[in-house]
C-alpha cells in the first residue's frame, strides 16, 4: 500500500515536472483571442481546463485535479451529459473567463501561477451576484472538477480512502480529525 502510493506520487511528480509544464510552455504562445467554438475543444482548451481544475483542487500532499486529467473528463461530461443550453453556457463561459482573467490580471491564465488563478476564482466567487455568466460557468467547472477528481483513481485512493471489498461492517468506528473520508 505505502509503496504503491509512493510510486504513484513519484510518477506524478515526473508527470508534473515534465510533460504538463512543458506543454504549458508550448501553449504560452497562444493568442489572447483564442476562442472555443461549438464543442470543438482543442488540446489548448483541455490544457486550460486542466489548469482551471488544478486551481479548484490543487496539488497538496496528494496530487491535484490536473494529475487526474480533469480537462479531458470535463470535456467528455460536457459533451455527453449536458443539454444544448448547458453546453452553450459552458463554452461561452470558458471563453469569457479566459478573457476576464486577462483583463483583471493583465496576464494570460495559462501563464499565471496556480495560486494567482485560485485567488482570481475566489474573487470571482465573491462577486458571483454581478457576474452571472462567469459564476455560472465556474459553478459548472467546480461541480465537474469535484466529481471527476474524487471519483478518479488518484482522488479516490490518495485524497480519500477506497476499499474495494470491506468484508465487514462496523457502524461505530473511531474517527480522528484528519482521517480521510471513504470514497464510497
Partner 1 sequence: MADQTYDAIVVGSGISGGWAAKELTEKGLKVLLLERGQNVEHVKDYKNANQAPWEIPHRGRRTIEMLENHPNLKRDYVLNEQNLDWWAHEKDSPYVEKKPFTWFRGYQVGGRSLMWGRQSYRLADIDFEANLKEGIAVDWPVRYKDLAPWYSYVERFAGISGNRDGLDILPDGEFLPPMDLNCVEKEVAERIKAKWNGKRLMTIGRVANITQPHEGRVNCQYRNKCWLGCPFGGYFSTQSSTLPAAMRTGNLTLRPWSIVTKLTYDKDTQKATGVEVLDAENNQTYTYKAKVIFLCASAFNSTAILMRSATDIWPGGLGSSSGELGHNVMDHHFRVGANGTYEGFEDRYYFGRRPNGIYIPRFQNVGDDKRDYVRGFGYQGGASRSGWSRNVAEINFGAPLKEALTEPGPWSMGITAFGEILPYHENKITLSKDVTDKWGLPVLEMDAELKENEKRMRKDMMSEAVAMLEAAGLKDVRGFDAGYTLGQGIHEMGTARMGRDPKTSVLNGNNQVWDAKNVFVTDGACMTSGAAQNPSLTYMALTARAADFAVAELKKGNL
Whole-number minimum distance, CB 53 to partner 1, in Å? 10
Report the distance separating Cα 9 and Cα 180, nearest Å. 17
Residues 57-96, one symbol each (x = binds partner 1 by CB under 8 A, - = not), give xx-x---x-----------xx--xxxx-------------
Whole-number minimum distance, CB 79 to partner 1, in Å? 9
The dihedral formed by the CA atoms of 56, 58, 62 and 67, expressed in degrees to the nearest 10:
90
Whole-number minimum distance, CB 75 to partner 1, in Å? 13
Whole-number minimum distance, CB 6 to partner 1, in Å? 19
Whole-number minimum distance, CB 138 to partner 1, in Å? 9
Q: Which of 12, 49, 56, 97 lies at the binding interface for partner 1 (CB under 8 A)?
A: 56
Q: Are 78 and 70 in contact (CB under 8 A)?
A: no
Report the distance separating Cα 162 and Cα 182, nearest Å. 6
Look up cell 444544448; give the residue.
Answer: 84
Q: How many C-beta neighbours within 10 Å does residue 29 have?
A: 8
- At residue 97, the 3 state secondary structure works out as helix
**What is the residue-wise DSSP string for 134-145?**
HHHHHHHHHHHH
Stretch that binds partner 1, among 7-15, 21-29, 40-48, 49-57 (CB under 8 A): 49-57
Q: Is 175 in the site for partner 1 (CB under 8 A)?
A: yes
Stretch that binds partner 1, among 24-32, 40-48, 98-106, 159-167 (CB under 8 A): 159-167
Q: How many C-beta neighbours within 10 Å does residue 112 have?
A: 19
Positions that interact with partner 1 (CB under 8 A)? 55-58, 60, 64, 76-77, 80-83, 115, 118, 121-122, 125, 142, 146-148, 150-153, 156, 159-160, 162-184
Amino acid at each position: 500500500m505505502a509503496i504503491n502510493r509512493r510510486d504513484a506520487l513519484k510518477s506524478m511528480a515526473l508527470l508534473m515536472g515534465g510533460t504538463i509544464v512543458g506543454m504549458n510552455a508550448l501553449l504560452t504562445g497562444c493568442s489572447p483571442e483564442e476562442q472555443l467554438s461549438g464543442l470543438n475543444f482543442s488540446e489548448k482548451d483541455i490544457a486550460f481546463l486542466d489548469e482551471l481544475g488544478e486551481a479548484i483542487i490543487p496539488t497538496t500532499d496528494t496530487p491535484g485535479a490536473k494529475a487526474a486529467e480533469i480537462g479531458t473528463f470535463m470535456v467528455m461530461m460536457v459533451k455527453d451529459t449536458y443539454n444544448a443550453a448547458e453546453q452553450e453556457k459552458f463554452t461561452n463561459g470558458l471563453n469569457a473567463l479566459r478573457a476576464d482573467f486577462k483583463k483583471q490580471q493583465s496576464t494570460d491564465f495559462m501563464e499565471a501561477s496556480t495560486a494567482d488563478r485560485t485567488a482570481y476564482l475566489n474573487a470571482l466567487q465573491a462577486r458571483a451576484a454581478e457576474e452571472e455568466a462567469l459564476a455560472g460557468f465556474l459553478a459548472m467547472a467546480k461541480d465537474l472538477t469535484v466529481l471527476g477528481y474524487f471519483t478518479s483513481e488518484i482522488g479516490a485512493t490518495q485524497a480519500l480512502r477506497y476499499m474495494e471489498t470491506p468484508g465487514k461492517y462496523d457502524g461505530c468506528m473511531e474517527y480522528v480529525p484528519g482521517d480521510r473520508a471513504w470514497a464510497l
